[in-house]
Structures are given as structure tokens and as C-alpha cells.
Chains A and B, each alone.
Chain A
Amino acid sequence: MSNNATARPSILRLDNISLTFDGVTKVLDGVSMEMLAGDTKIILGAAGAGKSVMLKIALGLLRSASGRIYLFGQDVTDFTENQWYEVRSRIGVLFQEGGLFDSLTIEENVAYPLVNRSNKSPEEVHPHVEEALRFVELAHTLDKFPSELSGGMRRRVGIARAGISDPDLLLYDSPTAGLDPITANKIMSLIIQERETRNATSAIVTHRFQDGHMMANFRYNSESKRLERIPDDSPLRQRTRFIVMREGRIVFEGSERELDASTDPYIAKFSMQRSAH
């Protein structure tokens, strides 16, 4: 198993990343982590723990004060904005509120990555857009504007947009924040489905332990078109790791079982089992 793991290429590596805002507040403090191809990382932590900032650093949207960032095997720390555009074309992102452009229709929003990067016309990419929206069950909203959709629907459009260019790395920033449990489960099952169908490496930032539990224990069965429990011996289980962040530091990294076994009261807050009791 360990031989297999080392053979997988590195997708994202953060090496001792630190960042301070206004020269005083430490947002990230020596954060290191690595994601290999096929890995799923569930990043948990209280609000303000630096989870979203870590994603933005991985995307080059924020610059770290120190440390190095490696994406797809290359050191991207000192890349210029133009060089970053190239790297970002291999990453799909879902922002907290979906990050959809208000002035564009749903179709234009989802088509944006394709039209923008490949210089294809909107007509050429239309079948892809329709397919991506059908995947999130929103094919009927093509001509609508984001303001006409509910919060959950906007998130689903965001998922369609994140996955449309077939990225190697998918990043989800609090995909279920502020949603009711039923919608949140729907979003999570779409994310799991996207992980399986695209075979992409995914990182998900969340403060809901249920999301992590679903990601770690369920997979999408394309034949029965349903979620099913991941068998205990599946490599997928090994590749799913939990990260708990606190005040800009990673205080825990490990499997769900290790998370459940942790005695630290802060870490235990994010354990499904403890919280159930």
C-alpha cells in the first residue's frame, strides 16, 4: 500500500506557509501539507482558523509571507499572476457563496472557464454546459440569473462550473455553510459524485463534521446511481485524511478513526462519534 502511495504524483504541497494580516494577526503559522493524486482532504476548524485562507494561498489568490507552494510538481511560489492563470486552469474551485457572476446568466457562468481559456464560442461549449448543469440537476436554469436561484442552487451551479474544465484538483470552500441539512446533504453527495466521476483530487473546507464523515465513508456507485458505504479495505478510505486547524496551525492530521480517538477537546469537537454522544 505504501509503495502505491509514493508512486502517485504530488498535486499540491504546502511547505511551512505563514501569513500575517496587517503585520499583526497571524492567519497562517507554519502550515505544511501534501496532497497526492486521488487524495481527499477534509479541512475542519472553527471560523477564523485559516481554512479558507489556506485554499486561497493554494490558488495563488493570496501570497504567503514565507514558505513554498508546489502545484502539480512545480514550485509556484514566485509565479507572476500570468503564470498563475496557467496553473489555475487545472484547478476547479467552489467559493463559499458559489462565487457566481451576478451579471451573467447561469449558462454564461458555467461556460466561463471554457470560453475564457480555450477561446471557444458559447455555441461550441453549449452541449458541455448543458451536461454539467444536468449533472447538478439544474439544466432548466440556463437562462436564469444567479439572483433568481436559491442559495443551494447557486452552490450547485458553482459545482458545475468548478468541474466543467475537467480539473486535476478540486477545492471546495465551505460548500454547505448556511444551508439546511437536506440541501447540505444533496451538495455533499454531488461533491462525492464529482470526485468519483472525475477521479480528481479534492480538498474540502468545512466546519460541519457531517460533511467530512460523508466524504470519508461514502462513494458514488455509477451503476445504481446511489451513494454507498466505502468498504473498509478500499484504498479510497486510506486516501481520505482529516485536517483540523486552529488559529492558523494544523493541530491534527489523520484518518477518521484517529480523529475519533483524539483526546484533545478542540479536535474532538469535529469528530462525528463524539458529537453524536
Chain B
Amino acid sequence: MLDILKSPIVTFQEFILLAGRATANIVRRPFYGSDVILQMDLIGVGSLPITILIGFFSGAVMALQMSRALSQYGATGQVGQITAITLVREMGPVLTALLVAGRNASGIASELGSMKVTEQIDAMRALGTDPIKKLVTPRLIATCFTLPLLTIVADFIGIIGGYLVAVPLLALTTSSQYWNNAWRSLEYNDITQGLLKPLVFAYIIALVGCLYGMRTTGGTQGVGRATTQAVVVASVWIFVCTFLITRIFVNI
């Protein structure tokens, strides 16, 4: 029984240690600024097109689904409110994080995994560079910086998507009512959790990717395994954490 629990507990401990060391390195010299910029480009700019696409369609689908439910109660005017709240609180952060997890947690795990199996990480240590400082911290900073921004973009584009379905397509409400409702319904509580979530998810994505990458053993097959595990574990933790954060904010 204890043996079954041992492996996840050890992994969790490694995750916490890695998180601590990677975070502490943010303020320690040397700084690898160019690596941070490069990762921001890869993670942030690279994920932008797909974020816009997914954001747009999630907002549009939300408005479509709600159109039927709201028309039953004659409350179709509320479509802007529902789209905005759902997107900002939940759909925007979670969908963007899942996308970035699929795109970048896997990318990070496979890159670091390949470096591990070809002894590049050992070489880095042998040549006097801390791999956590050089590889993990820049990815963590880049993800923490870009994921909230991507989420904001996804939220905004999603509300536009909802608008296009609600007003020009289905004529559920008027343009000004939609935007007015969307704007007024958002409270600081929504915005705070909508921005706190991507920050937590960024930690999960970057560190799970790095952890599974750096733990890779067993050659190229091991790299494939590490990549799959990183995406699965990151996605599961994104859902667990969104539940926990929502639970806290619901009571505030």
C-alpha cells in the first residue's frame, strides 16, 4: 500500500523542491535574459494564434448554447453577462492553460528530456551552469508572464465571439445591451480569480514540463513517455487547481 503512494509523494516533493529553487533563482545572479525573451516568444507569441481561435469559438459556442436556455425564460438580454462571466472566471483561464499545457508542457518536457538523455544537462553542470537557473527559471518566468496575457486575449476575443453570435447572427439582444451587460457583470472578484488562475496554471505547466523532462530516463522512448506524462499531469492539476481556487473565491 505504502509503495503505491511512495512514487506520487516523491514526485510531489520533487515538484515542490523544483518550484522553490526555480522561484528563488528569479532574484539570483546570473540572469539569463535572452533565454527568458526566447521562451516568451516561443510560449507567448507562439500560442497566440491558437488562443485567439479557441477563445473566439468558446465564446461563440457559449452564446449559442445560452440562446436556447435563456429564451425559455425570456432572458436573452442576459447573454452578454453569462458569456463574460463564464469566460473570465473559468473558460478563458482553463482553456488557455490546457492549450498551453498541450503545446508547451509537452515541448518543454521533450526538449529537456532530449537534453537529459544526450547528457547535455550533465554537460551543463560539468561546465559550471546550474540547469535549474539556465533552463527552468527562464521557462517559469516566461510562462508566468505570458499565460495571464494570453488569457486576457482569449477572454476578450471570446466575448467578441459571443457578440457575433448573439447580435448579428441570432439577434438575441442589441449591441449596446450586450456590451453593457458584459462590462457591468464583471466584478473585481471575477477579474482577480481570472488572473490568479493563469498564474497558478503557469507554475504548473512550466514546472511539470521541466520536472518530467529533467527526470527522463531510458533514451528516446523515455522522452516520449515524459512528454505524455507532462501533458496529462499538467492538465489534471489545472482542473484540480481551478476547482480549489473557485471554491475559495465563491465564498469571498
Q: Is B119 an interface residue (CB 8 A)?
A: yes
Q: Which residues of B contact A56 (CB under 8 A)?
A: 122
- A165 (CB) vs chain B CBs: closest residue: B127
The complex places the Cα of A93 from the Cα of B129 at a distance, in Å, of 14
Cβ contact within 8 Å between A81 and B130: yes
In this assembly, does B124 line the interface, its C-beta being within 8 Å of a C-beta of chain A? yes
**A61-B122, A99-B120, A102-B120 in contact; A112/B115 too (CB < 8 A)?**
no
Q: Is the interface of A mostly helix, strand, loop or mixed?
A: mixed
Partner of B127, one of A96, A102, A113: A113
Q: Which of A88, A89, A100 is within 8 Å of B120, CB to CB?
A: A100
- Interface size counted on chain B using CB atoms at 8 A: 14
Instruction: Render B114-125 as a binary contact track against A, CB cut-off 8 A, 1 for contact.
Output: 110011101111
Beta-carbon contact of B128 and A117 below 8 Å = yes
**Chain A residues with CB below 8 A from B126, complex form:** 59, 61, 88, 91, 93, 95, 99
Count A interface residues, CB 8 Å: 21
A102 to B111, CA, bound (A): 10
Return the chain A residue nearest B38 by Cβ.
Answer: A103
Kindly identify, within residues 116 to 150 of chain A, every residue whose CB is under 8 Å from any CB belonging to chain B. 116-117
B124:A101 contact, CB within 8 angstroms: yes
Q: How far is the CA of A102 from the CA of B118 in the complex (A)?
A: 10
Which residues of chain B have C-beta atoms less than 8 A from A112's C-beta?
127
**Cβ of A97 under 8 Å from chain B:** yes
**Which of B124, B126, B128, B130 counts the most chain A CB atoms within 10 A?**
B126
Which residue in chain A gives the minimum CB-CB distance to B125? A61
Question: What's the least CB distance linking B33 to chain A, in Å?
Answer: 15
> Chain A: residues with CB nearer than 8 A to chain B?
56, 59, 61, 81, 85, 88-89, 91, 93, 95-97, 99-102, 112-113, 116-117, 161
- The interface of chain B, by Cβ under 8 A from chain A, is 114-115, 118-120, 122-130
Q: Can you list the 6 inter-chain pairs with the closest CB atoms, starting with the nearest?
A: A99-B123, A95-B119, A99-B119, A85-B128, A93-B126, A113-B127
Sample 27 A-B pairs with CB under 8 A, ordered by A number: A56-B122, A59-B126, A61-B122, A61-B125, A81-B125, A81-B130, A88-B126, A88-B128, A89-B128, A93-B123, A95-B123, A96-B119, A97-B118, A97-B119, A99-B118, A99-B119, A99-B120, A99-B123, A100-B120, A100-B123, A101-B120, A102-B114, A102-B115, A102-B118, A116-B129, A117-B127, A117-B128
Question: A88-B125, A101-B120 given. 11 additional CB < 8 A pairs?
Answer: A56-B122, A61-B125, A81-B130, A85-B130, A88-B127, A89-B128, A95-B122, A96-B119, A99-B120, A100-B120, A117-B128
